[in-house]
Chain A
C-alpha cells in the first residue's frame, strides 16, 4: 500500500459529510428562496434535470470505510456529486466533484476535480450552459516536475468536456502549489478555496481532522 493509505478512511468521512451538508444546503436555499440566490436555485434545478445528482445513500455505500483501503472513484458522467452552494458573487456557479482515489497500491493516486457550471441567458428560449474546472492533486513522483501538491485548470473535470469550455485553456500550466501535504489536506484545501474561512469548517463539522492537517490550515489563515 502507498504511504497515504491511512488517509483513505478520512477521505470517506469527508465525502459523506460534504454530501450531507450539500443536500441540506441546497434544500434550505430552495425553501428560503432568497432573492440573491434565485439564479443559483434556477441553475441548480436546470442542471439537476440535465445531470441528476448522486444520492447520499450511494455515496455512503461507496465510501464505506469499513471495507478497507481500496480504489474509490466518483466519476459518473450521468450523475454528479454536487457540492454545496457557493456564496457571494459567484453563487450562480454550481460546483460538482469528481474523484479518482486509489491509496491501496504502491503508488498513491489522488485526483480531486471540481467542475463549475453556470447557465446564462436564463428565461430565454436558448439558455446556454458554461463550464470550467480545476483539479487538485497530490504530488507526483519525485522524478516528475510536479512533485508537490498542486492545483491546475481542467477542461474535463467530469471525464467529458464541459459545455462551452474554452478548449484553448492550458491544463498543465500553471501548476499552482497548495499548502497540502496529503490527500486529506488536498481535500481541505479544495474546501477552503471554494467556501472560505467562514464555511469550510462548518461543512465538515462532524469530521475529526487530525492536528497535522489543522496546523496546515492554520498556516493558510
Chain B
C-alpha cells in the first residue's frame, strides 16, 4: 500500500511550505506521497466527520473509510481559525474526530504547545488525541524519520514510518482480542496492579480485567462522554481508537517513568555491566539510541528473557525493569556498593550520551523514583525548554 502524508493548515501557503519541508527530507520523499488538503475539501471532510459522530451517537452504522486511511500520516495545525468564517474548531478537536471516526494511521498535531518546544516534564500531553505533538520548527527534523539527525531530537519521538506500520499491527491485534483484558494483550498481567495509580487512571477502573471494549466505552481518556454509547456497531472503530490511546498511554505514561519498562540508554546508565561495548566510549554508547535497527548484541544476553516482546506497541526496545532489578546475578545488584556510575549522561533532548559536564540536570513530572534526567549543555538554540522550573540548579 502506498503511504501518504496529508497536511492541513488553515492558511494554504503554510500547507505548501510544510510539503516543501517534508519533500526535502531524504527519509520522507522516497517513501511517502505528499499532498495538502484545501480549505474547501477540509470543510467537507469536517462535515462528514460531524455526520459520522451523529450517526455514532444514534448507534447507527457509518462508513469508516475516508481520505485518511491506515497508511496515512495526517499533519494538522492547531489554530484553524481562518479555515472558514463561522467555523471555530481547533486541530485538537479534529484530531479527536479523526481518531474516533476514521481509519487514519497517525495524527501529528502542530503548534498546539509551541513552535519549537522541549517538554521538561517528559509527560507530553496524553490527553491530546494527536499521536505526536510537535512545532513547525521541528517538522523538517530528520530525527522524526531516522536516527540520522543533526543534534536536537527528543528521545520520546517515535520514528514515524515505523510507528505507522506498528500501529496497523496494534489495531489488528486488538481487533482479534476485543473482549480480552488489555493487561493480557499487552503482557502486563500480574504487573499492571503495581503500575502507578496516576498511569492506570488513564485506563479506568479495575485495570487487571479491563477489556478493550470496556476501555473504549468507559475511560475518560478515550471518547467524550456523549460519544460513549453502549454498543459501538463496529469493532474496527473500537480497535482504531483503542490502539491509538493505548499506544499513547505506553509512550507517554509508562515508558518515561523508566520504572516499569526501561529502554537501552537508561538501562545501561543504571547497570553499565550489561553493556557489551566499552562504557568509556560515547560513540559505542550512542549506538544504544538506534531505535530503528537496534543491535541486541550490545546488551547482555543475561536479560534476554526480560525483553518486552510486544514490540509493535513500543517505539523502542524495552525491558521489564522489575525483573532486571531483581536479578541478583547482575554485578550492580550482587555488589551494589561497588557500583560505578557512567562518566556520561544520556540526554533526553538529543537522544545521545555526553560527558557529564556537558549536560544539565532536570527533574521530570512523572510518577517515578527516577526523576532526574539530563539535557545537553549548552541547550539547543531556538528550542524553548518548558517549564523552566524543572531545570535543576547546578551547585
Contact = CB atoms under 8 A, between A and B. Distances in A.
Interface of A: 23, 26-27, 30-31, 33, 38, 45-46, 48-53, 55-58, 61, 77-79, 129, 163-164
A78 B326 contact: yes
A169 to B, nearest CB: 18
Contacts of B270: 49
A88 to B, nearest CB: 21
A30 B371 contact: yes
A50 B332 contact: yes
Contacts of B393: 33
B337 interface: yes
Contacts of B197: 57
Contacts of B389: 31
B333 interface: yes
Given A27-B371, A48-B369, A78-B326, A58 B337 contact: no
A129 B336 CA distance: 10
B339 interface: yes
Nearest to A50: B336
Interface residues of B, number: 26
Contact of B395 (A38, A56, A79, A129): A38
B371 A55 contact: no
A78 B194 contact: no
Contact of B339 (A50, A55, A56): A50
Interface in B314-362: 321, 325-326, 328, 332-333, 336-337, 339, 341
A33 to B, nearest CB: 6
Contacts of A77: 328
B180 interface: no
A58 B395 CA distance: 35
Interface string B174-193: 00000000000000000001
Contacts of B341: 46, 49
Given A57-B197, A78-B325, 18 more contacts: A27-B371, A30-B371, A33-B393, A49-B270, A49-B339, A49-B341, A50-B332, A50-B337, A50-B339, A51-B336, A52-B259, A52-B369, A55-B259, A55-B369, A58-B194, A61-B193, A78-B336, A164-B337
Of B326, B333, B369, B393, most A-chain CB atoms within 10 Å: B369
29 contacts: A23-B369, A27-B371, A30-B363, A30-B371, A31-B363, A33-B363, A33-B392, A38-B395, A45-B372, A48-B369, A49-B270, A49-B339, A49-B341, A50-B332, A50-B336, A50-B339, A51-B336, A52-B321, A52-B325, A53-B369, A55-B196, A55-B369, A57-B193, A57-B196, A57-B197, A78-B325, A78-B328, A78-B336, A79-B326
A77 B336 CA distance: 10
Nearest to A42: B395
A130 to B, nearest CB: 10
Contacts of A26: 369
Contacts of A38: 395
Contacts of B296: none
Nearest to B260: A55
A77 B392 CA distance: 30
Nearest to A119: B337
A163 B337 CA distance: 6
B198 to A, nearest CB: 10
A79 B196 CA distance: 17
A87 B96 CA distance: 48
A170 B78 CA distance: 68
Of A26, A45, A164, most B-chain CB atoms within 10 Å: A45
Contacts of A23: 369
A168 to B, nearest CB: 19
Contacts of A33: 363, 392-393
B195 interface: yes
B370 interface: yes
Of A23, A78, A129, most B-chain CB atoms within 10 Å: A78
A120 B385 CA distance: 33
Nearest to A117: B337
B369 A61 contact: no
Contacts of A55: 194, 196, 259, 369
A26 to B, nearest CB: 8
A79 B195 CA distance: 16
B280 to A, nearest CB: 13
A52 B369 CA distance: 8
B193 A129 contact: no
Contacts of A78: 325-326, 328, 333, 336
A63 to B, nearest CB: 13
A31 B259 CA distance: 19
Contacts of B369: 23, 26, 48, 52-53, 55
Nearest to A163: B337
Interface in B138-195: 193-195
Query: What are the 7 tightest A-B residue pairs by CB atom distance, in nearest-first order?
Result: A163-B337, A57-B194, A53-B369, A50-B336, A129-B337, A50-B339, A48-B369
Contact of B195 (A52, A57, A164): A57
Contacts of A61: 193-194
Contacts of B395: 38
